Amino acid sequence: MGQFLQQLINGIQIGSIYALIALGYTMVYGIVRLINFAHADIFMFGAYMGFFLAPVMAKVFGGAFIPTIIAAMLITGLLGFIMEKLAYRPLRYKSRLSALITALGVSIFLENFCAMDFVLFGVHFVFGPTYRKFPDLIVAKNIPIPGNLGLNISNVLLLDVGVSVILMVLLFWFVNKTLIGKQMRAVAFDKPTASLMGINIDVVISTAFIVGPALAGAGGILYGTTYGMLASPFLGIWPGLKAFIAAVLGGIGNIPGAVLGAYIMGISEAFATSVNSNLGYGMAFAILIGILLIRPSGLLGKFMPEKV
Amino acid sequence: MLLEVRNIDVFYGSIRALKNVSFNVEKGEIVSIIGANGAGKSTTLRAISGILRATSGSIIYNGHDITHTPPHLIARMGISQVPEGRGIFGNLTVQENLDVALSSVKDKKTAGPNQDKVFSLFPRLKERRRQISGTLSGGEQQMLAVGRGLMQNNPFMLLDEPSMGLSPVLTEEIFGVIVEINRLGKTVLLVEQNAFKALSIANRGYVLETGSVVLAGTAAELRDNPDVKKAYLGG
């Protein structure tokens, strides 16, 4: 029983991080029908921003976690904005395949750019393909759980879940209650009619490319805090892939679906990993194959015929 | 003159959908464009609202050349289009559909009174304001599409096939609303396959055939024209 609960809790923790990444995939897909493969690398970029900024933030603000996560979100949001403007906007009315290939290109570019060792304005920037210790943004502590189930819960776990839930609640409020949120949903449904309403489609698309990456940036900070190290600029690939599968599982384009898919993914992965540490990776693909066979539109997705 | 369309051509790929189309609309009028399926009626409205681009010719609204203006700016300049097939946002509630229409409105203070006006014209929408609009009946969706256009509070409304798919009773109701909208001071450009109804409420009309204007005149003249009678009014 204790073991079961422990894996469930671990799954919720990693699922929270997947959820923050999956939301970006699904928001962008919902609006421009593009799988932004570079999204995983934005997540990585956010984690590295934490690595570079945390010491500065600790010096300036005293505490590091809140200023670091906000700064990382701003930077990844900006990165998303620039990415859309430079790479995707010129291809907006071209074939969807061109945009997809461009997304792969942007991904490869970001990974390899960050693996470079370069000097800019006299500052030595090294993301570098080496392991790095992620700064301790909070002091990790175990929280004693009464009873004898042997549960191991840390304040980092509570932080991961808490921050994710706060950001998700903010996102739901943003999408459902604000004018720009309603505009986003209208644009996702029907672009030409949305423009007749006076909606500037470019602004809405840019917003999706800021909000999604900002959430991924927050996910990167939580990832670094949880694992305590950054492996390399290629570290986004696996969490990104799993989050993408989570978004497909929930129904790509569907925001609550992405959250649901991410928690299912995190929990099933935690259980699989407890059996064999390599099984966690296999779980992602087992879920992907299963969903494609049984319900390709995802758990909450609706099958919508392509409009002509 | 409120709207002047001068010799526009519109292409879908290599197909020329509009050939040298010209017409105009005066302030306060109801003008109807009638014609068969595929004659280019909807294309004409979409070119005015900016969703399609005229490759030659020009479109002048209120003295401004809007031929190359993007659609969201045209909506903000004072033209509302109620699109064909209603084009409501089926994933949004009735209220959210109306809210989103305010994107083109600068002075948000008009929103409240305007919404009251929409709800008094269409009490059904008020009852169903929290309902997801995709689950509305066809008639209710049409009312929502017109209501959304009214929320924009624009002086000029383009209506694309408002009677499409509606029962005779609802058609009657929608046309009544169009007359009412016009009485409230809005200029209306109406595209319809139901030529009889369209000409019964219009001041003037144009007949489109395979992308060209073949006839123009007052509504009465067109109604009495033997060719129009034969082709569009059922003898």
For each of the domains in chain A, give its residue range(s) and CATH number, in order of start: 2-140+154-293 (1.10.3470)
Residue B193 has pLDDT above 60, yes or no: yes
CA closest to A192 among chain B residues: B51
Nearest CA of chain B to the CA of A201: how many Å?
A: 8
C-alpha span between A56 and A50 (Å, rounded): 10
The pLDDT of residue B40 is: 93
Residue B112 has pLDDT above 50, yes or no: yes
Tell me, what's the ipTM? 0.93
- For chains A and B, what is the number of CB pairs under 8 angstroms? 71
Select from A94, A92, A73, A97 the least CA-distant residue to A24: A73
Instruction: Decide if A197 touches B, using CB distance below 8 A.
Output: yes
Q: Which residues from chain A sit within 8 angstroms of residue B129, using beta carbons?
A: none
Contact B194, B163 (CB under 8 A): yes
Q: Which residues from chain A sit within 8 angstroms of residue B50, using beta carbons?
A: 195
The pLDDT of residue A302 is: 72
The pLDDT of residue A306 is: 46
Contact A50, A224 (CB under 8 A): yes
The pLDDT of residue A304 is: 55
Nearest CA of chain A to the CA of B97: how many Å?
A: 8
Nearest to B83 among A179, A196, A199 (CB): A196
Nearest to A199 among B72, B80, B81 (CB): B72
Which of the two residues, A17 and B37, has the higher pLDDT score?
A17
Secondary structure class of B171 (helix, strand, coil): helix
Instruction: Decide if A183 touches B, using CB distance below 8 A.
Output: yes
Inspect the interface and report whether the beta carbons of B72 and A190 lie closer than 8 Å.
no
CA distances to A34, B43, B161, B197, B215 from B201, rounded to whole Å, are 46, 22, 14, 7, 18
C-alpha span between B68 and B89 (Å, rounded): 26
CA closest to A177 among chain B residues: B96
Taking phi over 0 as left and psi of -120 to 50 as alpha, with beta for the rest, B31 belongs to beta
Inspect the interface and report whether the beta carbons of A193 and B90 lie closer than 8 Å.
no
Nearest to B72 among A179, A188, A200 (CB): A200
Phi and psi angles of residue B213, each rounded to the nearest 5 degrees, phi first: -80, 120
Instruction: Decide if A203 touches B, using CB distance below 8 A.
Output: no
Question: Which of A193, A196, A255, A300 to mutate: most B Cβ within 10 Å?
Answer: A196
Residue A152 buriedness (CB in 10 A; 0-12 / 13-18 / 19+): middle
**DSSP state letter for B103:** G
Taking phi over 0 as left and psi of -120 to 50 as alpha, with beta for the rest, B61 belongs to beta
Q: What share of chain B has pLDDT > 70, as a percent?
A: 100
Instruction: Decide if A198 touches B, using CB distance below 8 A.
Output: yes
Domain edges within chain B: 3-78+155-232, 91-153
Nearest to A185 among B83, B91, B101 (CB): B91
Inspect the interface and report whether the beta carbons of A189 and B96 lie closer than 8 Å.
no
Alpha carbon distance, N-terminus to C-terminus of chain B: 34
Instruction: Summarize pLDDT for B139-191 with one digit per residue, the tens.
Output: 899 999 999 999 999 999 999 999 888 889 989 999 999 999 999 999 999 99
Inspect the interface and report whether the beta carbons of A196 and B87 lie closer than 8 Å.
yes
C-alpha span between A247 and A195 (Å, rounded): 28
Instruction: Decide if B152 touches A, using CB distance below 8 A.
Output: yes
A117-120 and A123-126: which strand pairing? antiparallel
Inspect the interface and report whether the beta carbons of B80 and A196 lie closer than 8 Å.
yes
Nearest CA of chain B to the CA of A205: how many Å?
A: 14
Nearest to B89 among A186, A200, A201 (CB): A186
The pLDDT of residue A308 is: 38
The reported pTM is: 0.90
Average pLDDT, chain B: 93
Q: Which CATH number fits domain B3-78+155-232: 3.40.50.720, 3.40.50.150, 3.40.50.300, 3.90.1310.10?
A: 3.40.50.300
Select from B12, B81, B90 the least CA-distant residue to B48: B81
Positive or negative, the CA dihedral A174, A180, A182, A187 is negative
Contact B21, B213 (CB under 8 A): yes
Phi and psi angles of residue A75, each rounded to the nearest 5 degrees, phi first: -70, -45
pLDDT < 70 stretches in chain A: 120, 122-126, 128-129, 303-308
If one counts every other C-beta atom within 10 angstroms of the C-beta of residue A293, the result is 8
Nearest CA of chain B to the CA of A174: how many Å?
A: 14
Nearest to A196 among B49, B92, B105 (CB): B49
The pLDDT of residue A281 is: 85
**Long-range Cβ contact pairs of B208-211 (< 8 A, separation 24 or more):** B208/B21, B208/B33, B208/B34, B208/B35, B208/B39, B208/B40, B208/B41, B208/B44, B209/B35, B209/B36, B209/B39, B210/B38, B210/B39, B210/B40, B211/B16, B211/B17, B211/B18, B211/B19, B211/B21, B211/B39, B211/B40, B211/B43
Alpha carbon distance, N-terminus to C-terminus of chain A: 54
CA closest to A187 among chain B residues: B89
Task: Please tell me the least confidently modeled range out of A54-58, B90-94, B120-124, B128-132.
Answer: A54-58
Instruction: Decide if A207 touches B, using CB distance below 8 A.
Output: no
Secondary structure class of B55 (helix, strand, coil): coil
Nearest CA of chain A to the CA of B167: how many Å?
A: 25
Instruction: Decide if B90 touches A, using CB distance below 8 A.
Output: yes
Which of the two residues, B25 and A274, has the higher pLDDT score?
B25
For tokens 């064999």, the residue is A276
CA atoms in the 13 A half-sphere facing the CB of A165: 8
**Long-range Cβ contact pairs of A97-105 (< 8 A, separation 24 or more):** A99/A32, A99/A34, A100/A34, A100/A35, A100/A37, A103/A34, A103/A35, A103/A36, A103/A37, A103/A38, A104/A37
CA closest to B101 among chain A residues: A197
C-alpha span between A73 and B20 (Å, rounded): 53
Inspect the interface and report whether the beta carbons of A199 and B100 lie closer than 8 Å.
yes
Instruction: Decide if A194 touches B, using CB distance below 8 A.
Output: yes
